[in-house]
Structure 1
Amino acid sequence: MTTAVGRVGDDRLAASPARRLGRLQREGRAAYLFLAPALLFFCVFLILPFVFAIVLAFSDWGGFDLGTLKWAGTANFGDVLSFDGTFVKLILVNTLLFAFGSVFLATFGSVLVAYCIDRLAFQGFWRVLYFLPVVATVVAIGNVWKMMYQPAGLINGVLNKLGVNSIGFLSDASYALPSVTVVQAWASIGGAVLILTAGLKAIPEMYYEAAEVDGANSWHMFWSITLPLLRPALLFVLITQFIGGLQSFALIIVMTGDGGPVNATNVAAFEMYQRAFKYGAWGTASAMAMVLFVIILAITLLQLWVARRRGEETS
Structure 2
Amino acid sequence: MAYLFLTPTLLFFAVFLALPLLFAVLLAQSRWAGFNLADIEPVGLDNFTDLFAQGSTFLTPILTNTLLYAIGTVVIALSGSVVIANCINNLRFQGVWRTLYFLPIVTTVVAVGNVWKYMYEPGGLVNGALNALGLPSVAFLQDPDTALPSVVAVQAWASVGTAILILTAGLKSIPETYYEAAELDGADQFTIFWRITLPLLRPSLLFVCITQFITGLQSFALINVMTGDGGPGDATNVAALEIYQQAFTYGDWGVAGAAAFVLFLVIALITMAQLWLFRRKGEDA
- Is TM more than 0.5 here? yes
What SS is found at the alignment partner of 1:259?
coil
Q: 2:224 aligns with which of 223, 234, 253?
A: 253
- 1:127-163 alpha-carbon deviations (Å, 9 max, x no partner): 1111111111000000110111000000100111111
Identify the residue that residue 83 of structure 1 maps to in structure 2.
54
Identify the residue that residue 63 of structure 1 maps to in structure 2.
34
**Alpha-carbon distance, 1:41 to partner:** 1.9
Q: Distance in 1 between matches of 2:241 and 2:138?
A: 25
Asked if structure 2 preserves the Cα contact closer than 8 Å seen for 1:131 and 1:191, the reply is yes
Q: Distance in 1 between matches of 2:4 and 2:215?
A: 32
Identify the residue that residue 64 of structure 2 maps to in structure 1.
93
174-183 or 80-89, which deviates more: 80-89
Q: Distance in 2 between matches of 1:36 and 1:244?
A: 30
Identify the residue that residue 255 of structure 2 maps to in structure 1.
284
Asked if structure 2 preserves the Cα contact closer than 8 Å seen for 1:275 and 1:284, the reply is yes
Identify the residue that residue 266 of structure 2 maps to in structure 1.
295
**Alpha-carbon distance, 1:294 to partner:** 0.8
Q: Distance in 1 between matches of 2:60 and 2:7?
A: 45
- 1:275-298 alpha-carbon deviations (Å, 9 max, x no partner): 001111000000001111111111
**Alpha-carbon distance, 1:39 to partner:** 2.3
Q: Which residue identity does 1:241 align to in structure 2? A: Q
- 1:178-202 alpha-carbon deviations (Å, 9 max, x no partner): 0000000011111111111110000
Identify the residue that residue 189 of structure 2 maps to in structure 1.
218
Identify the residue that residue 160 of structure 1 maps to in structure 2.
131
Identify the residue that residue 237 of structure 1 maps to in structure 2.
208
Identify the residue that residue 140 of structure 1 maps to in structure 2.
111
Structure-2-length-normalised TM-score: 0.98
Q: 1:183 aligns with which of 154, 173, 179?
A: 154
Q: Which residue identity does 1:68 align to in structure 2? A: D
Q: Tell me the number of residue pairs that the alignment of Structure 1 and Structure 2 aligns.
A: 285
Asked if structure 2 preserves the Cα contact closer than 8 Å seen for 1:83 and 1:89, the reply is no
Structure-1-length-normalised TM-score: 0.89
Q: Distance in 2 between matches of 1:62 and 1:156?
A: 44
Q: Distance in 1 between matches of 2:6 and 2:87?
A: 41
Confirm or deny that 1:102 pairs with 2:68: no
Q: Which residue identity does 1:257 align to in structure 2? A: G
Q: RMSD of the alignment, in Å?
A: 0.9
Identify the residue that residue 26 of structure 1 maps to in structure 2.
none
Q: 2:166 aligns with which of 186, 195, 207?
A: 195
40-49 or 214-223, which deviates more: 40-49
**Alpha-carbon distance, 1:32 to partner:** 3.7
Q: Could you tell me the percent identity over the aligned residues? A: 64
Q: Distance in 2 between matches of 1:37 and 1:208?
A: 48
**Alpha-carbon distance, 1:258 to partner:** 1.1
**Alpha-carbon distance, 1:34 to partner:** 4.1
Gaps of 5+ in 2: none
- 1:151-178 alpha-carbon deviations (Å, 9 max, x no partner): 0000100111111111000011111000
78-87 or 241-250, which deviates more: 78-87
What SS is found at the alignment partner of 1:164?
coil
What SS is found at the alignment partner of 1:290?
helix
Q: 1:120 aligns with which of 86, 91, 95?
A: 91
- 1:62-95 alpha-carbon deviations (Å, 9 max, x no partner): 1010000010000000001223211011101111
